[in-house]
C-alpha cells in the first residue's frame, strides 16, 4: 500500500506565489514542474497578498514560466479588500487609493470612483502594496484618515516581500507608517484574514480536501488554519526552520516541505516515545531528536528536512516557550 503524500485526499491546491512559485521574475527551483504534476489530479489556484498586479498580469507571469494559468485562477488581496469595502460604503462612493494597478482596477471594477487626494473628501481609504507607493501617497491617506468616520481597508499585513534582490518592506510596513501618523488601525482583508479565503472557497468548487501551500507562517499557514484547510509550509521563501521551531500553535503547518518536490513524496510518520527518566524521543525518517527537560539535542541527523520536522514536533509538543529551550543548532542551521 502506497504511503500518503501531502496531496493524498486533496482535490484543491491553493498556492501562494512570492516565495513559493517565484522570487521576483524567476521561478523557484522545482516549483513549476511540481505544481504541473499536482494539477493532473487536483484543481490548482493561487492566493496572493501582493496587490501590485492584476489577476491577468499574474496569470500571464505564471503562464510564461510554463504553468498555463487564467486570471480566474488567481485570488488577490485587492479582490478580498473590495469585497469587504462593498459592505462598508455604498456603490459609487469615492475611494482614496494607495497602491498600484492591481488595486485601482479592482476598485473601478467594483463600481467605486477613485481619487488620490484627501482634498476630495473621500468616503474611504483602501491601501495595497505597489513599488511605486511614495511618501506623498502615504501622506494623502493620513490626511484623509484624520476624519475618523471613514473606513480604512488594507489589502494585507505582510511586513516583508521576497524579491529578486532580497527581502524588501511589504504592505504591512507601509500601513504601519500611516497608522503611526493617524493613531488608528486598518481593517485587513488578505491572508491571514478570513475574507480572502472566503473568496477562494467560493471561486473553486471542490468535493475533497483543500491544501494551502505557503512560505509564511503568519499569513499562509495561520490563514489556512483559520479557514479549516490543511497547510504546507515550504522553506523556499520568508520563513525558515528557525522561525518554524519558534512559532505558536496557531501557525503550525500540517506539512513541512524542503521544496515543492516533497508534495509528491511519501510524508514520513513521526514516532514519539518517552522513557522512565522523562527523556522524550521523536523519530522522523532516519532523524532522531531527544529532549530532557528544556534541553533539545540531535541523536541522529538523518535528512535535513526530516531533522527539521522532528525538531519542530518535539519543541511544539513540549509545551515550553522557545526562549526557555536549549536547542541544538544542527536542527535549524541548514535553513
Chain segment 246-266, per-residue pLDDT in tens: 999 999 999 999 999 999 999
- Percent residues over pLDDT 70 in the chain: 99
Cβ proximity of 328 and 308 under 8 Å: no
Nearest Cα to Cα of residue 37 among 13, 56, 63: 13
Higher-confidence residue of 161 and 216: namely 216
DSSP letter for 3, please: P
Polymer length of the chain = 335
Catalytic residue among 11, 16, 119, 262: 16
Considering the segment(s) 10-73+192-264 as one domain, its CATH architecture is: 3-Layer(aba) Sandwich (3.40)
Q: What is the pLDDT of residues 145-161, one digit of tens each?
A: 999 889 999 999 989 88
Beta strands in 149-275 (DSSP E): 152-154, 160-163, 166-169, 187-188, 209-214, 230-234, 255-257, 270-274
Q: Mark residue 124 as left, alpha or beta (left: phi above 0; alpha: psi -120 to 50; beta: remaining).
A: beta
Cα angle, residue 156 at apex, residues 137 and 17 outer, rounded to 5°: 110
334 pLDDT higher than 90: no
The domain made up of 78-188 is a member of CATH 3.30.70.1230: no
pLDDT for residue 29: 97
Read off the pLDDT band of 2 (50, 70, 90). Answer: low
Q: What is the pLDDT of residues 164-187, one digit of tens each?
A: 788 899 999 999 999 999 999 999
Q: How far apart are CA 221 and CA 227, in angstroms?
A: 10
In this prediction, residues 43-69 reach a mean pLDDT of 96
- Is 18 an active-site residue? yes
- Percent residues over pLDDT 90 in the chain: 91
pTM over 0.75: yes
Q: What is the pLDDT of residues 85-141, one digit of tens each?
A: 999 999 999 999 999 999 999 999 999 999 999 999 999 999 999 999 999 999 999
**DSSP alpha helix (H) spans, the chain:** 31-38, 55-64, 77-85, 101-109, 135-145, 171-182, 194-203, 222-226, 241-246, 304-316
5 pLDDT higher than 90: yes
pLDDT for residue 333: 87
pLDDT for residue 85: 97
pLDDT for residue 8: 96
Q: How far apart are CA 113 and CA 195, in angstroms?
A: 22
Would you kindly state where each structural domain of the chain is located, as residue ranges? 10-73+192-264, 78-188, 270-331
Domains 10-73+192-264 and 78-188 share a fold: yes
Q: What is the pLDDT of residues 38-48, one digit of tens each?
A: 999 999 999 99
335 pLDDT higher than 60: no
- Computed over every residue of the chain, the mean pLDDT equals 95
In this prediction, residues 45-74 reach a mean pLDDT of 96
4 pLDDT higher than 90: yes
- Is 137 an active-site residue? no
Nearest Cα to Cα of residue 67 among 34, 110, 102, 115: 34
Cα angle, residue 63 at apex, residues 62 and 65 outer, rounded to 5°: 70
Amino acid at each position: 500500500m502506497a504511503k500518503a503524500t501531502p496531496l493524498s485526499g486533496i482535490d484543491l491546491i491553493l498556492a501562494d506565489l512570492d516565495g513559493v512559485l517565484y522570487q521576483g521574475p524567476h521561478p523557484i527551483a522545482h516549483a513549476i514542474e511540481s505544481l504541473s504534476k499536482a494539477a493532473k489530479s487536483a484543481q490548482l489556484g493561487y492566493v496572493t497578498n501582493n496587490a501590485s498586479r492584476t489577476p491577468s498580469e499574474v496569470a500571464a507571469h505564471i503562464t510564461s514560466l510554463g504553468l498555463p494559468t487564467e486570471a480566474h485562477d488567481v485570488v488577490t488581496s485587492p479582490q478580498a479588500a473590495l469585497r469587504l469595502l462593498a459592505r462598508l460604503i455604498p456603490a459609487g462612493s469615492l475611494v482614496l487609493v494607495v497602491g498600484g494597478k492591481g488595486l485601482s482596477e479592482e476598485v473601478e471594477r467594483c463600481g467605486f470612483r477613485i481619487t488620490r487626494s484627501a482634498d476630495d473628501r473621500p468616503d474611504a481609504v483602501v491601501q495595497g502594496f505597489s513599488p511605486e507607493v511614495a511618501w506623498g501617497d502615504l501622506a494623502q491617506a493620513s490626511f484623509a484618515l484624520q476624519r475618523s468616520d471613514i473606513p480604512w481597508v488594507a489589502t494585507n499585513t505582510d511586513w516583508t516581500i521576497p524579491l529578486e534582490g532580497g527581502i524588501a518592506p511589504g504592505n504591512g510596513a507601509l500601513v504601519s507608517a500611516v497608522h503611526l501618523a493617524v493613531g488608528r488601525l486598518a481593517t485587513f482583508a488578505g491572508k491571514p484574514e478570513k475574507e480572502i479565503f472566503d473568496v477562494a472557497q467560493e471561486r473553486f468548487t471542490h468535493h475533497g480536501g483543500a491544501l494551502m501551500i505557503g512560505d509564511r507562517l503568519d499569513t499562509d499557514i495561520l490563514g489556512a488554519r483559520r479557514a479549516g484547510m490543511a497547510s504546507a509550509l515550504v522553506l523556499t521563501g520568508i520563513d525558515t526552520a528557525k522561525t518554524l521551531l519558534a512559532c505558536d500553535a496557531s501557525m503550525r503547518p500540517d506539512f513541512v516541505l524542503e521544496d515543492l518536490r516533497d508534495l509528491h513524496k511519501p510524508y514520513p510518520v513521526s514516532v514519539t516515545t518517552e522513557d522512565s527518566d522523562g527523556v522524550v524521543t521523536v523519530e522522523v525518517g532516519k532523524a532522531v531528536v531527544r529532549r530532557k527537560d528544556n534541553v533539545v539535542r540531535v541523536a541522529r541527523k538523518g535528512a535535513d528536512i526530516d531533522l527539521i520536522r522532528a525538531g519542530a514536533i518535539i519543541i511544539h509538543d513540549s509545551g515550553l516557550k522557545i526562549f526557555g529551550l536549549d536547542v541544538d543548532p544542527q536542527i535549524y542551521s541548514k535553513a
